[in-house]
Amino acid sequence: MHIHILGICGTFMGGIALLARAASHRVTGCDANVYPPMSTQMEAQGIELVEGYDAEQTGLQPDLFVIGNAISRGNPLLEEILDRNLPYVSGPQWLAENILRSKWVLGVAGTHGKTTTTSLLAWILEEAGLNPGFLVGGVPQGFGVSARLTDSPFFVIEADEYDTAFCDKRSKFVHYRPRTAILNNLEFDHADIFTDLAAIETQFHHLVRTLPRNGLIVANGAEASLKRVIARGCWTSVEWFNAAEGWAFAGKDADAFEVSLAGRAIGTTRLVLPGDHNRANAVAAVAAARHAGVPVEVALKALESFQGVKRRLEVRGTVRGITVHDDFAHHPTAIAATIAGLRSRVGDQRILAVLEPRSNTMKLGTMKSQLPGSLAGAELSFCYGKGLGWDAAEVLAPLGDRAASFDDLDQLVAAVAREARDGDQVLVMSNGGFGGVHQKLLDALEKPVGK
């Protein structure tokens, strides 16, 4: 079958392209921004890419158009598909019907930590010899790809609550029908499509309703929102983590921690990723893997060889004793957790936070009041405020001279380079490319001080 994917260069739709190609389909696709590294990754797999969304692409005559959720009404190619009544389907529906239908699906949902936890779970299953397929919203370092298809019955997927497509406003994860589900946490986010937290809880309840009786829900016991979701009706066994009555962890040192179940210690492990939030992610992955048949001791051993995920506290370089990290954090809770995690590793070394509030929710200013508190753990904060619908300098005023806002990226880079000194940790946080700021910072730091 020939499928043509609209929005192919997004992480999720790019993953679908790789899975479809692995399933022996002919795959072509288009996007508004076709450039490396996604373009080279696709072309290496024999996937033809088209720049833009011109209506003439219907002339490719694919058997099916697969529509990403970035595509909205008014898109010229989509309008032509609708006018001509050509066959189309959303990305999540195509995935469910063509890849997941015969699989034991392990889905990871939550406001934060989905990519890391999905990667951890896939790695545990891999190290246990189960050879899982997976689709992750990032690139796990041990695998080097964001998606793969295998002949294993197990498939691990990052289960996103964002809407499915222009024609289907349910959350993506409703399509996946997992047997094992991790519910990491649940806060208000995606203010562009959800009116309040209750609306997101309803979508999570829809997910819970799809799990079978022989399935398992691994849920964060510290989240009142998830307890409300479960209380609305659940027909599946639930194991809580971050809770005294369920799975828990206790720190031993900066890297090692002890895992317990129902108050009984069951083993110790180490994790390359710092912070209690990542330990919680790891414990949830261990619980989900056990449901798939992986002994706990095997899972704990696998965690020790986990190499991390690109853009999750990824070190991009060190210059003059100054280390530049890259992280995907953009929600205030994730920003605070990422800073705390780095703090647990670097101790008294200064953290210079460099933030781009880029998500739709942040641009709308829905959570702007939480930003000063989320950045409080950093010694200095530098915010890129261009294109926001609110005044970043005004919002960060409670931090006083510990924070500064810039509308010009080069000026921001110069300011960080002036302030940084030996031993500092520069933590860049954005859910986008941030104008290549990581390399710009490294280049600026290479220059002699005062130049």
List the chain pLDDT tens, one digit each, 451 residues: 999 999 998 889 999 999 999 999 999 999 997 766 667 778 888 899 999 999 999 999 999 999 999 999 999 999 999 999 999 999 999 999 999 999 999 999 998 889 999 999 999 999 999 999 999 988 888 898 889 999 999 999 999 988 999 999 999 999 999 999 999 989 877 767 788 899 999 999 999 999 999 999 999 999 999 999 999 999 999 999 988 889 999 986 767 899 999 999 999 999 988 888 899 999 999 999 999 999 999 999 999 999 888 778 889 999 999 999 999 887 888 899 899 889 988 999 999 999 998 877 777 777 888 899 999 999 999 999 888 888 999 999 999 999 999 999 999 999 999 999 999 999 999 988 888 899 999 999 998 665 4
What pLDDT score does 341 carry?
85
What pLDDT score does 43 carry?
81
292 plus 322 within the same structural domain: no
Of 66, 91, 116, the residue at which a domain comes to its end is: 91
Of 54, 70, 91, the residue at which a domain comes to its end is: 91
What pLDDT score does 366 carry?
79
Q: Domain for residue 97, yes or no?
A: no
Q: Domain for residue 74, yes or no?
A: yes
What pLDDT score does 254 carry?
67
230 plus 128 within the same structural domain: yes
What pLDDT score does 449 carry?
61
> What CATH number is given to the structural domain containing 364?
3.90.190.20
324 plus 243 within the same structural domain: no
Query: CA geometry: angle at 299 spanning 297 and 302, to 5°?
Result: 110
**CA pseudo-torsion sign 67, 73, 77, 79:** positive
In sequence order, what are the residues at sequence separation of 6 or more whose Cβ sits closer than 8 angstroms to the Cβ of residue 129? none
Q: How far apart are CA 106 and CA 292, in angstroms?
A: 9
* CA-atom Rg of the chain in angstroms: 22
Q: Domain for residue 451, yes or no?
A: no
> Facing residues of 383 across strands?
355, 405
pTM: 0.84
Q: How far apart are CA 300 and CA 264, in angstroms?
A: 15
243 plus 364 within the same structural domain: no
Q: How far apart are CA 41 and CA 50, in angstroms?
A: 14
Structure tokens at 237: 């066994």
In sequence order, what are the residues at sequence separation of 6 or more whose Cβ sits closer than 8 angstroms to the Cβ of residue 365? 388, 389, 390
CA torsion 147-151-152-154 (nearest 10°) is 50
Q: Domain for residue 122, yes or no?
A: yes
> What CATH number is given to the structural domain containing 267?
3.40.1190.10
414 plus 376 within the same structural domain: yes
What pLDDT score does 87 carry?
98
Q: How far apart are CA 312 and CA 113, in angstroms?
A: 10
137 plus 266 within the same structural domain: yes
Longest dimension (CA), the chain: 66
Report the domain count for the chain: 3
| Residue given tokens 């066994």 in the structure block | 237
Residue 228: give the domain boundaries: 102-304
209 plus 151 within the same structural domain: yes
Reference 237, options 173, 285, 186, 181; nearest CA is 181
Helix (H, G, I), strand (E, B) or coil at 68: coil
229 plus 155 within the same structural domain: yes
Asked if residue 219 lies in contact with residue 240, where contact means CB atoms within 8 angstroms, the answer is yes
DSSP state of 75: -
What pLDDT score does 41 carry?
74
| Residue given tokens 């919203």 in the structure block | 137
87 plus 201 within the same structural domain: no
What pLDDT score does 287 carry?
97
Structure tokens at 434: 């941030």
414 plus 291 within the same structural domain: no
Q: Domain for residue 411, yes or no?
A: yes
137 plus 187 within the same structural domain: yes
> What CATH number is given to the structural domain containing 23?
3.40.50.720
| Residue given tokens 């289907």 in the structure block | 168
